[in-house]
Amino acid sequence: MPDILRMFSYPFMARAFAAGVAVALASSLLGVSLVLKRYSMIGDGLSHVSFGCLAIAAALNWSPLAVSLPVVTASAFLLLRLNESKRVYGDAAIALISTASLAVGVIVVSLTTGMNVDVYNYMFGSILSITQTDMILSIVIAVIVCGVFALLFHRIFAVTFDEPFSKATGLNTDVYNTLFALLTAVTIVVGMRLVGALLISGIIIFPPLAAMRVAKTFRKATVLSAIISVICFFAGLTMSFALNLPAGASVVALNAAVFIIMFAAGLISSAVMKRKV
């Protein structure tokens, strides 16, 4: 298939592959902890927060990014740190913040004469329209995320698994939680801008959940999640080129398919096991 090989001759495809693999790697690594901490919907929730920000930016005639980047990052950070007080469930916190942002956004839009931008333009990035700078940015972020994650891997596990124990035995849980929240906030916010909210949400949940179907240890789950994510990204983007399908949605659909296969495999294998006995 020379046609498929041809795709690398387009600079935008090369950029998409490079940036996408970087983002896929970073998000899927963080995804395992996010899913376990009940933050599966964080991507979706933050996209609503950014709608609220855009509405306010338009009302104040400020630059949309100048408002949304810091506010969304702060929300992500807040969401992740809220969990620790254990007073609000992770998913409930997301629902609260995202619904409230939507409501505020709708009210602000109605109070002002209107907006200057189509919000969807700002919320849905596209992996295909990534610039050189964006690509470098995402690679830098991915390298930082993967590096810090690897170095903190065991500590992130300990804190996610049993925070009181870690705290009691002298681990600086605050530092690790803060670092984790920071990495996540940056990855999601930048990722959402570059590759779109849909793709980011998809990468955060599908690979970790698929990996958790079969992996019994945190390390295996994390590594498998990263592998699934990168492979699905590659295959999805290629599929998008070959079959002329939307890029981000193809990657997500492929991730979903892998999850379903893993899920079914898990069910079947346990059924077979049962019969064997």
Q: Quick one: 120 exposed, middle or buried, by C-beta within 10 A (0-12, 13-18, 19+)? A: exposed
| Residue of 71, 72, 67, 55 lying closest to 116 (CA atoms) | 55
| Residue 154 binding: pick among a second copy, another protein, none (C-beta 5-8 Å cut-off by kind) | another protein
Give the residue carrying structure tokens 């931008």: 117
Give dist(CA 231, CA 203) in Å, integer: 12
Q: Do the Cβ atoms of 209 and 259 come closer than 8 Å?
A: yes
Tell me which stretch binds another protein (CB under 8 A): 21-29, 69-77, 98-106, 181-189: 98-106
Tell me which stretch binds another protein (CB under 8 A): 74-82, 136-144, 184-192, 236-244: 236-244
| Residue 99 binding: pick among another protein, a second copy, none (C-beta 5-8 Å cut-off by kind) | a second copy
Q: Which parts of 23-42 interact with another protein (CB under 8 A)?
A: 32, 36
Give dist(CA 177, CA 265) in Å, integer: 34
| SS3 state of residue 183 | helix
| Residue of 73, 195, 70, 65 lying closest to 117 (CA atoms) | 65
Q: Between residues 175 and 260, which has the closer beta carbon with respect to another protein?
A: 175
Q: Do the Cβ atoms of 156 and 149 come closer than 8 Å?
A: yes
Q: Do the Cβ atoms of 93 and 84 come closer than 8 Å?
A: no
Q: At its nearest, how many Å lie between another protein and the CB of residue 46? A: 15
Q: Does 254 bind another protein (CB under 8 A)?
A: no
Q: Between residues 88 and 179, which has the closer beta carbon with respect to a second copy?
A: 88
Q: Which positions lie near a second copy, rule CB under 8 A?
A: 35, 38, 40-41, 44-45, 48, 87-92, 94-96, 98-100, 102-104, 106-107, 110-111, 198, 201-202, 205-206, 209, 245-246, 248-250, 252-253, 256, 259, 266
| Residue 5 binding: pick among a second copy, another protein, none (C-beta 5-8 Å cut-off by kind) | none
Q: Do the Cβ atoms of 88 and 82 come closer than 8 Å?
A: yes
| Residue 241 binding: pick among a second copy, another protein, none (C-beta 5-8 Å cut-off by kind) | another protein
Give dist(CA 47, CA 70) in Å, integer: 13
Q: At its nearest, how many Å lie between a second copy and the CB of residue 248? A: 8
| Residue 91 binding: pick among another protein, a second copy, none (C-beta 5-8 Å cut-off by kind) | a second copy
